[in-house]
C-alpha cells in the first residue's frame, strides 16, 4: 500500500513555513523591490503580503488535515492490528544504534494527527481575524505552521529520537510565540521562562530515552513494547526510565513541579494560547505516556507517582483558578488542572480515557480560549474579569459558544467533557491502581472546575457591566472568521463526547467508538468488581458536582450581593494564599533562581571566569606587551647603537665559538 503520502501531512505546513518565513524575513527587501518596480505603496504591500500569509497559512494546515483524514480512512479499511508506516530515510546507522527517520500512523497517532491538524486549521482560520492589522502576520503564520510541522513529527515519529525532534521543535515554537510581541519585556521574559522550564523537563526526557536505549538496545516504539513484555530487566531500571520520561512530560504538560511556565505563557497571542498552550502542545506529555503505556504498566511504582502527581495537579491548579482575575490565567490554570486529570487517568491504568479527555479537552478548551480571545478583542484588550460583565447582549455568538464550552468542561451531560471526565473518575475509583483517595481528590477537583468556570462565566457575561460606559459602548461582536470557528468548536464540544459513550449506557447499543478504535494499540486496565458496582454512583456524583459548582457560583456571583466579598474577608489568609498561587513562583525564585544566579554570577562568573580564565589570558597579553615595550627602547634608529650591538654580539659569538672549539 502506498504510504508515501504520509510525508505530505508534514510537507504542506513545512512549505507554508518557508513561504511565510520568506515573506517575513525579506519583508524590507521585498517592500523596496515592489515599490521600485511596481510603485506599490506601503499599505498595498502590507495588505497583499498579509493576505498571502493568511491564505498560505490556513491552506497549508487544511491540506494537511485532509491528508490526515484520507489516511484515517485508509487505516479504517485495514485490519485492526495493522498500521501505516513510511520510512523517509535511514537516519543513524552506527553499530548498536540503527535508527530510521520514519513516520508511524497507527490508531493512536491518527487521533492525534486529526486533533492537531483539525483544531489547528480552525485556529489558523480564527487567527486571520484575530491578528488582522498586526505588522507581523507573516512571521506569526510562519511560526504557527512550523508548530504544526513539529507537533506532527512528535506524534508521527516511530522512535523516541524523531519524537524528540518534534518535542524540541514545539518547545522552540512555543517560546517564539509566547514572546511574539517581543518588544514588551514581560512577554519576552515569559517566553524565556517557558523555554527554560521546558529544558529541565527535556533533560528528563533525554535521560529516560537513553536509559531505555541502554536497557533494550532500541528506540523504536513497537520494538520497545515487545522487548519490555519479553525481557527480564529489573523493574527498578524500568521504573527509573519511566519516571525520567514522566519528568519530561511534566515539563511539557505543565504538571507539578514544572507547571509554572504555563500561566505566564498566556502572554502570547490568544489563538496561540488556544492552539499550543491548551489544545495540542501541552498534551504531548500525555500522548508520550500513553504511547509508552507498556513501559508504565511494567513499572507499577511509576504509575502510582503519575496518578498522585496528576490528581494533585488537578486539585492544586483548580484551587488557584478559583480566585484569579485574569480571564486567560483562569483558563491556563484550568488547562493545568485538566491535564492533571489526563495524567491521573494514565496513572490509574486508563490511557484510553486520557486520550478521550485529551480530544474533548482540545475541543472545549480551544473554544474557551478563542471565546476569551473574542472577549478580549471586543473589550479592546481588557483581560480582568472583574471589569467585565454584561457582555451577553453585545456578543451573543461568543456568549452561547462560551456557555456550551463551559457546560462541557464542567461535566454536564451529555456534553463532551461529561463523558470523558466520567470515564476518568470511574477509573480513578475503580481500577487496580485507583483508590478512594485519588477518586475523591478528582471529584473535588471536578467540583472546583465547575465552580471557577461558572464564576468566570457570571462575571464576564452576566450581571452589570463594570468596565465603564465608554468601553462598554465600543464592545462589539468579533468578525465572522472568528465567530464561525467558535461555532464549529462549540459544536464539537457539544457532540464530541459521543465517540466515547460510557459503558453504563451500553444497553442503548451505542458503541464506545474511541475505545474500540484504540483497543489494538493501547491497553487499559479493566475495572475491578468493586469499581463496576460503584460506577453508576460515580456518574451521579460527577453530575452532582457539576450542578453544585453551578449553584455555588450562582449564589456568590449570579446575584447582586456581597457574599463573595464577605467570604474573602472571612478567609483572608486562604484568599491571599490562593491569589498568590501558593507563592510557588516566589519559592522557586528563592530556592532555585537566586542560588543559580549566585553560583553563576558570583562563583562561576566573578571568580572563575574573571579571576581565573580572563586573568590568565589578560596576563599573557600584558606580559608580551610589557616585554615589547621594554625591548622597543633598543630600536631607536641611531645607527651607531646598532653597530655597537652588532659588535657586542660578534664578541660574544667569538668568545663562545672559541670556547667551544677548545
Partner 1 sequence: MIPIDFLVMVSLTLFLLGATTVLVRRNILVMLMGLELMLNAAVLLFIVYSRVHANLTGHFFALFIFVVAAIEVGLIIAIILNLFKQKRSLLTSSYTSMKE
Options 70-78, 246-254, 507-515, 631-639: segment touching partner 1 (CB under 8 A): 631-639
Smallest distance, partner 1 to C-beta of residue 621, A: 20
Q: For partner 1, which is the closer residue by CB, 133 or 637?
A: 637
Distance CA(534)–CA(214), nearest Å, equals 43
The nearer residue to partner 1, 4 or 640, going by C-beta atoms, is 640
**Interface mask toward partner 1 for 523-562; x: CB under 8 A:** ----------------------------------------
In the DSSP assignment, the letter for residue 605 is I
- Quick note: the x/- pattern for partner 1 over 353-382, rule CB under 8 A, is ------------------------------
Of 573 and 636, CB closest to partner 1: 636
- Site mask for partner 1 (CB under 8 A), range 575-614, x = bound: ----------------------------------------
**Closer of 572 and 636 to partner 1 (Cβ):** 636
User: Torsion-angle region of residue 467: left (phi > 0), alpha (psi -120 to 50) or beta?
Assistant: alpha
Min separation Cβ 658 and partner 1, Å = 16
CA atoms within 13 A on the CB side of 521: 25
Query: In angstroms, what is the minimal distance from the CB of 635 to partner 1?
Result: 6
Task: Write the secondary structure of 13-72 as one string of H (helix), E (strand) and C (coil).
Answer: HHHHHHHHHHHHHCHHHHHHHHHHHHCCCHHHHHHHHHHHHHHHHHHHHHHHHHHHHHHH
User: In this structure, how many other beta carbons lie within 10 angstroms of the beta carbon of residue 644?
Assistant: 11
Cα–Cα distance list, 255 to 252, 263, 305, 307, 327 (Å): 8, 12, 12, 11, 21
**CB 660 to partner 1: min, Å:** 23
**What's the CA gap between 224 and 212, in Å, rounded?**
8
Tell me the closest approach of the beta carbon of residue 655 to partner 1, in angstroms.
17
Contact map string, positions 177 to 216, toward partner 1, x by CB under 8 A: ----------------------------------------
Q: Residue 233, class by beta-carbon neighbours within 10 Å (0-12 exposed, 13-18 middle, 19+ buried)?
A: middle
- Fill in the per-residue mask, 632 to 661: x = in contact with partner 1 (CB under 8 A), - = not in contact: x--xxxxxx--xx--x--------------
User: Smallest distance, Å, CB 636 to partner 1?
Assistant: 5
Distance of CA 34 to the CA centre of its chain: 39
Which is closer to partner 1, CB of 183 or CB of 628? 628
Nearer to partner 1, 594 or 625 (CB): 625
Please choose, from the candidates 258, 241, 268, the residue with its C-alpha nearest in 3D space to the C-alpha of residue 180: 268
Residue 129: enclosing H or E segment and its boundaries? helix 107-130
Output 593 or 648, the one with its CB closest to partner 1. Answer: 648
Output the smallest distance, CB 643 to partner 1, in A. Answer: 6
Q: Which is nearer to partner 1, 592 or 643 (CB)?
A: 643
Work out how close the CB of 629 gets to partner 1 at its nearest, in angstroms, rounded to a whole number.
11
Q: How many CB atoms are closer than 10 A to CB 261?
A: 25
Secondary structure (DSSP) of 203-249: HHHHHHHHHHHHHHS--BHHHHHHHHHH----HHHHHHHHHHHHHHH
Rank residues 94 and 636 by Cβ distance to partner 1 and give the closer one.
636
d(CA 618, CA 636): 28
Beta bridge partners of 157: 103
How many residues sit close enough to partner 1 to count as binding (CB under 8 A)? 10
Q: Cβ of residue 623: shortest distance to partner 1, in angstroms?
A: 21
* Cβ at position 607, least distance to partner 1 in Å: 40
Residue 593 vs 644, nearer CB to partner 1: 644
Can you read off the three cell numbers belonging to residue 270?
490568544
Query: Is the CB of 505 or the CB of 642 nearer to partner 1?
Result: 642
Per-residue exposure over 572-603, b if at least 16 CB sit within 10 Å of its own CB, e if not: eeeeeebeebeeeeeeeeeeeeeeeeeeeeee
CB closer to partner 1 out of 78 and 644? 644
> Taking the complex as a whole, how short is the minimal distance between the CB of residue 589 and partner 1, in angstroms?
57
Check: CB of residue 261 under 8 Å from CB of residue 317.
Answer: no
Contact range with partner 1 by CB under 8 A, out of 217-225, 416-424, 571-579, 628-636: 628-636
Under 8 Å between Cβ of 142 and 508: no
Q: Identify which of residues 591 and 643 has a Cβ nearer to partner 1 in the complex.
A: 643
The minimum distance between CB 598 and partner 1, in angstroms, equals 49
Please tell me whether the peptide bond between 414 and the residue prior to it is cis, using omega within 30 degrees of 0.
yes
Closest approach of partner 1 to the CB of residue 639, in Å:
5
H or E element at residue 97: strand 97-105
Provide, rounded to whole angstroms, the least separation between the CB of residue 38 and partner 1: 60
User: The dihedral of CA 96, 102, 106, 108: what is its sign?
Assistant: positive
464 lines the binding site for partner 1 (CB under 8 A): no
82 vs 635 by CB, closer to partner 1:
635
Give the count of beta carbons closer than 10 Å to the beta carbon of residue 234: 10
Block residue for cell numbers 518588544: 183
- Contacts with partner 1 by CB under 8 A lie at 632, 635-640, 643-644, 647
Amino acid at each position: 500500500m502506498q504510504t508515501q503520502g504520509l510525508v505530505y501531512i508534514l510537507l504542506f505546513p513545512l512549505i507554508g513555513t518557508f513561504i511565510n518565513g520568506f515573506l517575513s524575513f525579506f519583508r524590507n527587501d521585498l517592500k523596496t523591490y515592489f515599490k521600485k518596480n511596481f510603485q506599490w505603496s506601503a499599505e498595498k504591500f502590507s495588505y497583499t503580503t498579509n493576505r498571502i500569509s493568511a491564505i498560505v497559512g490556513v491552506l497549508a494546515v487544511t491540506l494537511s488535515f485532509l491528508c490526515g483524514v484520507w489516511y484515517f480512512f485508509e487505516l479504517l479499511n485495514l485490519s485492526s492490528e495493522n498500521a501505516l508506516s513510511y520510512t523517509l530515510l535511514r537516519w543513524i546507522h552506527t553499530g548498536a544504534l540503527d535508527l530510521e527517520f520514519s513516520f508511524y500512523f497507527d490508531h493512536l497517532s491518527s487521533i492525534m494527527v486529526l486533533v492537531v491538524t483539525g483544531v489547528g486549521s480552525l485556529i489558523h482560520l480564527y487567527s486571520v481575524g484575530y491578528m488582522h492589522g498586526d505588522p507581523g502576520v507573516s512571521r506569526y503564520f510562519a511560526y504557527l505552521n512550523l508548530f504544526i510541522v513539529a507537533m506532527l513529527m512528535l506524534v508521527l515519529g516511530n522512535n523516541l529520537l524523531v519524537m524528540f525532534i518534534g518535542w524540541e521543535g514545539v518547545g522552540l515554537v512555543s517560546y517564539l510565540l509566547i514572546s511574539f510581541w517581543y518588544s514588551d519585556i514581560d512577554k519576552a521574559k515569559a517566553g524565556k521562562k517557558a523555554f527554560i522550564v521546558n529544558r529541565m523537563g527535556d533533560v528528563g526526557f533525554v535521560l529516560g530515552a537513553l536509559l531505555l536505549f541502554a536497557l533494550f538496545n532500541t528506540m523504536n516504539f513497537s520494538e520497545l513494547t515487545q522487548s519490555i513484555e519479553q525481557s527480564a530487566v529489573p523493574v527498578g531500571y524500568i521504573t527509573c526510565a519511566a519516571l525520567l520520561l514522566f519528568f519530561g512530560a511534566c515539563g511539557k504538560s505543565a504538571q507539578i513541579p514544572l507547571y509554572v511556565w504555563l500561566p505566564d505563557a498566556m502572554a502570547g497571542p490568544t489563538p496561540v494560547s488556544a492552539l499550543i498552550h491548551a489544545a495540542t502542545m501541552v498534551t504531548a506529555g500525555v500522548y508520550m505516556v500513553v504511547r509508552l503505556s507498556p513501559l508504565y504498566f511494567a513499572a507499577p511504582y511509576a504509575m502510582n507517582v503519575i496518578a498522585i502527581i496528576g490528581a494533585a495537579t488537578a486539585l492544586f491548579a483548580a484551587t488557584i483558578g478559583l480566585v484569579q482575575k485574569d480571564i486567560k490565567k483562569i483558563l491556563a490554570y484550568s488547562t493545568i488542572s485538566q491535564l492533571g486529570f489526563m495524567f491521573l487517568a494514565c496513572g490509574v491504568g486508563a490511557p484510553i480515557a486520557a486520550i478521550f479527555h485529551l480530544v474533548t479537552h482540545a475541543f472545549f478548551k480551544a473554544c474557551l480560549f478563542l471565546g476569551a480571545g473574542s472577549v478580549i478583542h471586543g473589550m479592546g484588550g481588557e483581560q480582568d474579569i472583574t471589569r467585565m460583565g454584561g457582555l451577553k447582549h453585545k456578543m451573543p455568538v461568543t456568549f452561547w459558544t462560551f456557555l456550551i464550552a463551559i457546560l462541557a468542561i464542567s461535566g454536564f451531560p451529555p456534553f463532551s467533557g461529561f463523558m470523558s471526565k466520567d470515564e476518568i473518575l470511574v477509573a480513578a475509583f475503580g481500577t487496580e491502581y485507583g483508590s478512594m483517595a485519588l477518586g475523591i481528590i478528582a471529584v473535588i477537583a471536578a467540583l472546583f472546575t465547575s465552580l471557577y468556570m461558572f464564576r468566570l462565566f457570571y462575571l464576564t457575561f452576566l450581571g452589570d457591566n463594570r468596565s465603564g460606559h465608554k468601553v462598554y459602548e465600543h464592545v462589539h461582536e468579533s468578525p465572522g472568521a472568528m465567530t464561525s470557528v467558535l461555532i464549529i468548536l462549540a459544536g464539537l464540544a457539544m457532540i464530541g463526547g459521543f465517540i466515547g459513550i460510557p459503558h453504563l449506557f451500553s444497553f442503548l447499543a451505542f458503541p464506545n467508538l474511541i475505545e474500540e478504535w484504540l483497543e489494538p494499540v493501547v491497553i487499559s486496565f479493566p475495572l475491578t468488581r468493586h469499581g463496576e458496582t460503584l460506577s453508576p454512583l460515580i456518574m451521579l456524583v460527577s453530575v452532582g458536582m457539576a450542578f453544585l459548582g453551578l449553584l455555588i457560583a450562582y449564589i456568590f456571583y449570579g446575584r447582586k450581593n456581597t457574599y463573595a466579598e464577605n467570604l474573602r474577608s472571612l478567609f483572608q489568609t486562604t484568599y491571599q494564599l490562593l491569589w498568590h498561587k501558593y507563592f510557588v513562583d516566589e519559592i522557586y525564585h528563592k530556592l532555585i533562581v537566586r542560588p543559580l544566579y549566585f553560583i553563576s554570577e558570583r562563583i562561576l562568573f566573578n571568580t572563575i571566569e574573571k579571576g581565573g580564565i580572563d586573568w590568565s589570558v589578560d596576563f599573557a597579553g600584558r606580559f608580551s606587551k610589557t616585554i615589547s615595550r621594554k625591548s622597543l627602547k633598543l630600536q631607536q634608529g641611531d645607527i651607531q647603537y646598532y653597530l655597537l650591538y652588532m659588535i657586542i654580539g660578534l664578541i660574544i659569538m667569538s668568545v663562545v665559538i672559541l670556547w667551544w672549539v677548545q
